[in-house]
Structure 1
Amino acid sequence: MTPGIAKFAFVMMAVGWYLLRYRYARRARREKVLRSARGPRETTLLLISLTGLGIVPFIYVGTAMPHFASYAFRPAQAWLGVLVAVAALVMFRLTHRALGRNWSVSLDVREDHHLITDGIYRTIRHPMYSAFWLWAVAQALLLPNFVAGFAGLVGFGTLYFGRVAREERMMLETFGDEYREYMARTGRIMPRLS
């Protein structure tokens, strides 16, 4: 493992992410949205997350900047990053496959939207967020730079903590007791330990 291979692994994680999402994004555009939480707050949260998970690390991959924040490369850390990146992509794929036409980049309720409780959603309410947390951890392990490596944790963390409560409120308003029961038996981003 070398720093160049670690950077390549990060880029391949992003490419895999894009390829997995592309088909679902195209399909989602055709579905009618009945209710949405889109607006300035949602846009700001998405931009902060994009900055941390995409813009800052890609500047580092392309330029090694910011130089002052770099630290010694550790091959074992990068190998662990590769494993976490694979786990992120697997989780991402399972999430999209289970959601199908219900998927949305924003907080949307679509026409004929139904509560997904099978597949990866059987034990985790928000596996998409789990996948993004895994991405952020993989980024921190693959990129030996305190700014670029940890930007994903800060960027996505801001989105997560600024959005998850609103999303759960929207689901409760849409699905009522069915969602309350679902919340009682699932963990938010990890399976609930019984």
Structure 2
Amino acid sequence: MAVAALALFVFFMLLAGGVRTLIQRRRTGDTGNRRTWAARGSLEWWGLAVADLGYLMVGLGAPVAALAGMPPPASVGHPVARGLGAVLAIVGILSTFGAQMTLGASWRIGIDQTERTALVTTGPFRLVRNPVFTAAFSAFLGLTLMVPNLLAIVGLAVILIGIEIQVRLIEEPYLRGIHGDSYSDYASRVGRFLPGIGRLRADRPHGN
């Protein structure tokens, strides 16, 4: 199962990172990648770095550690859970790519504070404001179930912290700033990661 998890992680990186970037460049002439624009040590830089660390811990470190002999905790690792994890990982990977494609020309990795992209509220964005992150976290949850050692479990928590930094402290203030009332109205109706949960009050800059 560790080899399968490692293969799925590589597939995820190639699809959500490489293939999506190539599609963006072919369609718009721009890769959409703004992550290298974040000032080193800035809040955005830390959000991206923490999430990346978690991705590597779950997708690369945990399978390698399992192959080297690291056992799962005694209370986890049932074959059924591992099988369900594989299904969840595959669905999460494909859903991540699908949500990325829904963004069209507005898809970005990282933020350019001077840039104004269209606010996308269609497709999965009608249900949650951050379906890319929801799907990606689901994929890594699946990978954790496939290789449920301590490194994967800690890595999953690290991913969640990185995502929360990016969404709550970077992306939401940015979107509110460039879209104003349009984003405030959208965020007051649609949940952050799950339907109905994490909606923003129109008179508050941060979520509940």
TM-score > 0.5 by shorter chain: yes
Q: What's the offset of the Cα at 1:63?
A: 4.2
| 2:84 aligned with 1:88 | no
User: Structure 1: any 5+ residue segments left out of the alignment?
Assistant: 1-5
Matches within 5 A, 1:1-194: 6-21=1-16, 22-26=18-22, 27=24, 30=30, 38-39=38-39, 40=41, 41-55=43-57, 57-64=59-66, 70-71=72-73, 73-108=77-112, 113-147=117-151, 149-165=152-168, 166-192=170-196
Q: What's the offset of the Cα at 1:85?
A: 0.5
User: Structure 2: any 5+ residue segments left out of the alignment?
Assistant: 198-208
More contact order relative to length (CA 8 Å, sep ≥ 6): 1
Would you say the 8 A contact 2:58–2:144 is kept in 1?
Answer: no
Distance in 1, matches of 2:113 and 2:2, equals 37
Map Cα deviations across residues 76-110 of structure 1 (whole Å, 9 max, x no partner): 11011012112211320221111122112212368
> What SS class does the counterpart of residue 137 from structure 1 fall into?
helix
Taking structure 1 as reference, are residues 65 and 45 closer, same or farther at Cα in structure 2, changes over 3 Å only?
farther
Distance in 1, matches of 2:98 and 2:48, equals 22
Q: What's the offset of the Cα at 1:59?
A: 3.0
Question: What letter matches 1:48 in structure 2?
Answer: V
Query: Which has the larger share of helix?
Result: 1
Map Cα deviations across residues 22-48 of structure 1 (whole Å, 9 max, x no partner): 1332435726899x9822232232222
TM-score (norm 1): 0.80
Match of 2:202 in 1: none
Would you say the 8 A contact 2:129–2:193 is kept in 1?
Answer: yes
Would you say the 8 A contact 2:86–2:143 is kept in 1?
Answer: no
Q: What's the offset of the Cα at 1:112?
A: 5.9
Match of 1:3 in 2: none
**Larger CA deviation: 11-20 vs 97-106:** 11-20
What value does the CA root-mean-square deviation take over the aligned residues? 2.9
TM-score (norm 2): 0.76
Distance in 2, matches of 1:172 and 1:57, equals 33
Q: What's the offset of the Cα at 1:179?
A: 0.6
